[in-house]
Amino acid sequence: MNANSAVRHGLSRWLVLGVLLVASVYFLAPVWWLLVSSTKTNADLFRGNGFWFAHFALLGNVHQVFAQQGGIYWQWLANSALYAVGGAAVSTLIAALAGYTLAKYQFRGREFTFNSVLAAVLVPQPLLAVPLYLMFSGVHLVNTYWAVLLPSMVSPFGVYLARIYAGASVPDEIIEAGRIDGAGEFRIFATIALRVMSPALVTIFLFQFVAIWTNYLLPVLMLANDHLQPVTVGIVGWQAQRGIGPTAVPFNIVITAAAISAIPLVVLFLSLQRFWRSGLVAGSTK
Amino acid sequence: MTTALHERAAGRTTAAGARRTGRRRRGRPVVLFLAPFLVPFAALYLAPIGYTVYQSLFRMHRSGLGLTAPTQVFTGLSNYATALGDPDFRSSLLRVLLIGAVQVPLMLLLALGLALLLDARSTLFKRFFRLAFFLPYALPGVVGAIMWSYLVAPGLSPITAAAHHLGLHLDLTSNAMLAPTIGNMLTWGWTGYNMLIIHSALQAIPAELSEAATMDGCSAFGIAWRIKVPLVRPALVLTTVFSIIGTAQLYNEPAILHNVAPNLSSTYTPIYAAYDAVNANNFNAAATESVILALLAFVLSFGFLKLVQRRGAAL
């Protein structure tokens, strides 16, 4: 490499770094603002530098969040946990069973079933939310826990992932060996296949958990009773009450509540990065 | 249905009799194993779609005095004519088309550019940048939208404050700025996700290809443009389709922005309009608008796929 091209190479390297730095400021600065703002009093939010700390009032804010409206924030977190853990656990098990069956059994209608699942992966949840609401209000399920839990229990994407993974990682020989030993079909699935498929199960659970925890349109349509609402709907409800009457919720409470509600996801994301990537990559190769 | 599966499974078996009885026994597990998924799937995916199409063909008819309960009357496609004749709904459709036409290409170009830079061999701090770009996706969409709504809200916004310092008057929640503001929220939230998909595709390209091109005197830019971009075409097509579908279902961002920008209409996007119709207890209109939106999303994403396929064949 001659001197000239070395200089050019070094220059372009710095240029690339500069572009990437600018981009990361764009993506990180708003989150930084949210974190800084969650440590400010309501009055401080309206003065001074938005991106730097003022009087440190984080603990007071957290206290206010959990005290607001009779401590309903606890209930919202618990509801979100119930919907997300319950829905994700059930949908993961169902998806594992269905995906394993689609991968390991020969039967008529197998391809048709799998193709319907694939088509459903492309149907976006928000497009389904209004139809689900119309149907649920017809059978009086609206405004109950089931209105959010039931739709959370079906994950076509999970079935897709489970089938791909079972097809690639559960050897036919193990299944045959189980049969020769006299194990029933379900027992083979529960004791052998599930264990082999466990990395895929974590990915399915993770994606479904996140989808349910972050869902807004479905619960806001279904749940008028704020004691049934998940945290997303609750916080937006607080945000909407801004400045209206004596029940107005100050900005610092909404901001801190929003920041707290993101913690479980950020923790999941950072601790399970490997599974995030495997799910996204599987999604992109279909 | 069980017996049909039995016969089929047994018929296919070519092995010895002992094996055959084994297969025969296995017809039932298939049904039992698939039912826990297929029954809720039918009830919660297929049934609501059917029910919504059905609802869109009816209208509530109230008798003149309103003394008797309203009855459902079949009205054919007249709800569709009403919805498409409604200027508010029409402009909501136009609005998402416009936002999609501008925002989706910009976002994907940004995602592709960042993915290519991250993929270049000499780039530093790759892990940090990948995490930084992906962080918005790890945040719940509602939290991101609340955050941005305050970042643009007059009085709170540090952006407006900075512009004010420079002597500029900037209101990011004014009517003219609503669409760019929402476009920015979408770009911020989804660029990292798309970048990761494209980046994964880039990593699957064998290193020898770029090395050979470098030997032939191809510049880094040339390698990116002539070799890498064509090879990650499937990932680009996929992210485009996802983004089109994503834009069609736009709801959270405008609904949350509405809390700081009361001028944002409650029929801003088609789903917002359907939600508005639900709130007004006009279920038939909500159903009709949902069906129109679903058809539009299908036609656009499928049309795009056909378009690239045809062009792919021509190349």
Domains of chain A, earliest start first:
60-284 (1.10.3720.10)
Q: Which domain holds residue B147?
A: 81-314
Contact assignment for A236 to B256 by CB distance below 8 Å: yes
Looking at CA atoms only, how far is residue A70 from chain B in angstroms? 22
Domain-embedded: residue B28: yes
Domain-embedded: residue B187: yes
Domain-embedded: residue B103: yes
Domain-embedded: residue B252: yes
Closest residue in chain B to residue A25, using alpha carbons only: B132
Q: Give yes or no: residues B86 and B25 share one domain.
A: no
Give the integer Cα–Cα distance in Å for B33 and B2.
Answer: 12
Comparing CB atoms, the residue among B22, B55, B147 nearest residue A258 is B147
Average pLDDT, chain A: 89
Domain-embedded: residue B110: yes
Give the integer Cα–Cα distance in Å for B179 and B184.
Answer: 9
Q: Give yes or no: residues B152 and B9 share one domain.
A: no
Q: Give yes or no: residues B46 and B138 share one domain.
A: no
Residue B217 sits in a domain whose CATH number is 1.10.3720.10
Q: Give yes or no: residues B7 and B137 share one domain.
A: no
Residue A242: list chain B partners with CB under 8 A: 259-260
Looking at CA atoms only, how far is residue B36 from chain A in angstroms? 6
pLDDT at A46: 87
Q: Give yes or no: residues B28 and B116 share one domain.
A: no
pLDDT at A7: 67
Q: Give yes or no: residues B35 and B115 share one domain.
A: no
Q: Give yes or no: residues B206 and B247 share one domain.
A: yes
Which of A22, A134, A251, A263 to mutate to probe the B interface, most B CBs <10 Å? A134
Comparing CB atoms, the residue among B41, B140, B259 nearest residue A265 is B140
Domain count, chain B: 2
Q: Give yes or no: residues B14 and B138 share one domain.
A: no
The residue with greater pLDDT, A280 or A254, is: A254
Residue found under tokens 């998909």: B197
Domain-embedded: residue B68: no
| The dihedral sign for the CA sequence B260, B264, B269, B272 | positive
pLDDT at A282: 64
pLDDT at B67: 66
Comparing CB atoms, the residue among B49, B132, B150 nearest residue A28 is B132
pLDDT in tens, A45-63: 888 888 999 999 999 999 9
Q: Which of A126-130, A222-226, B120-124 has the lowest mean pLDDT?
A: B120-124
Domain-embedded: residue B122: yes
pLDDT at B9: 43
Alpha-carbon distances, residue A197 vs A112, A170, A269, B174, B255 (angstroms):
24, 7, 21, 52, 40
CB of B68 within 8 A of CB of B92? no
Contact assignment for B193 to A280 by CB distance below 8 Å: yes
Closest residue in chain A to residue B40, using alpha carbons only: A154
Residue B272, class by beta-carbon neighbours within 10 Å (0-12 exposed, 13-18 middle, 19+ buried)? buried
Q: Give yes or no: residues B109 and B44 share one domain.
A: no
Domain-embedded: residue B62: no
Residue B165: list chain A partners with CB under 8 A: none
Alpha-carbon distances, residue A256 vs A227, B110, B147 (angstroms):
20, 31, 10
Per-residue pLDDT of chain B (315 residues; tens, 9 = 90+): 344 444 444 444 444 444 444 444 556 788 899 999 999 999 998 899 999 999 999 998 876 666 677 788 898 899 999 999 999 999 999 999 999 999 999 999 999 999 999 988 778 888 899 989 989 988 999 999 999 999 999 888 889 888 988 988 889 999 999 999 999 999 999 999 999 999 989 988 888 888 888 888 888 888 888 889 999 998 999 899 989 988 998 999 999 999 999 999 989 999 999 999 999 989 999 999 999 999 998 899 889 989 888 876 554
Q: A285 pLDDT exceeds 80?
A: no
Q: Give yes or no: residues B185 and B279 share one domain.
A: yes
Q: Give yes or no: residues B208 and B283 share one domain.
A: yes
Closest residue in chain B to residue A147, using alpha carbons only: B44
Q: How is residue B26 written in tokens? A: 């296995």
Q: Give yes or no: residues B91 and B42 share one domain.
A: no
